[in-house]
Amino acid sequence: MDREAAFREAVDAHYQALFRYALSLSQNEPDASDLVQQTYAIYARKGHQLRDPLRVKAWLFTTLRREFFATRRRSARFSDDPDEVAALPAVDIQRLDGIDGETLMAALGRLPVEYREPLTLFYLEEHSYQAIATLLEIPIGTVMSRLSRAKARLRKLLNDD
């Protein structure tokens, strides 16, 4: 398969999942779109170096994550106010029994990124513990503890509101 066809196949197969992951990290659609575009731009330049074409999904997710944190570091470096924190949307929960996807995503957005990432990868993107450990470059035990803590924090956020 030529490089152009491999690129198109990677976009078709993984765009939606990458966008959802980018949205969970960035918490807004324009930044998520930028992250996905940047990830595919890197793949277009460096994808031919990938030794195992079957690992393209993991490579794309890892690259997107690295770009997210690199962008955050750059923006923090050039921010006028380093303590400035983007305002998160308020969560309006009418009934805990009838939590809709929008409410859950808003609560998820209020979690720190180190808890939001594994939750998103496990429950929304259906990655295994091992795949998450590889993507986040952390031990599998850390993945399990972060998932446990993230679920507890999410539960508390939803109950408190």
Task: Tell me how far the alpha carbon of residue 10 is from its chain's centroid.
Answer: 18
Looking at the chain, the domain(s) classified CATH 1.10.1740.10 span 1-86
DSSP, residue by residue, the chain: --HHHHHHHHHHHHHHHHHHHHHHHHSSHHHHHHHHHHHHHHHHHHGGG-S-GGGHHHHHHHHHHHHHHHHHHHHHHT-S-TT--PPPPPP--S-STT--HHHHHHHHHTS-HHHHHHHIIIIIS---HHHHHHHHTS-HHHHHHHHHHHHHHHHHHHHH-
Query: How many of the other CB atoms lie within 10 Å of CB of 52?
Result: 8
Q: Which of 136, 160, 157 is nearest to 63 (CA)?
A: 136
Which of the pair, 133 or 75, is modelled with greater confidence? 133
One CATH from 3.30.110.40, 1.10.1740.10, 3.40.718.10, 1.10.3660.10 for 1-86: 1.10.1740.10
Write the pLDDT tens digit of every residue in 34-62.
999 999 999 888 887 888 878 888 899 99
By the 10 Å C-beta count (0-12 exposed, 13-18 middle, 19+ buried), 62 is classed as middle
- How high is the pLDDT of residue 77? 62
Query: Buried b vs exposed e over 138-161: b needs ≥16 C-beta within 10 Å?
Result: beeeebeebbebbeebbeebbeee
- How high is the pLDDT of residue 47? 81
Give the fold, CATH level 3, of 91-161.
Answer: Arc Repressor Mutant, subunit A (1.10.10)
Share of the chain above pLDDT 70, in %: 84
Write the pLDDT tens digit of every residue in 51-98.
887 888 889 999 999 999 888 887 766 555 444 434 333 334 344 455
Residue type (1 letter), 36: V
Whether this model's pTM surpasses 0.85:
no
> To the nearest whole number, what is the mean pLDDT of the chain?
81
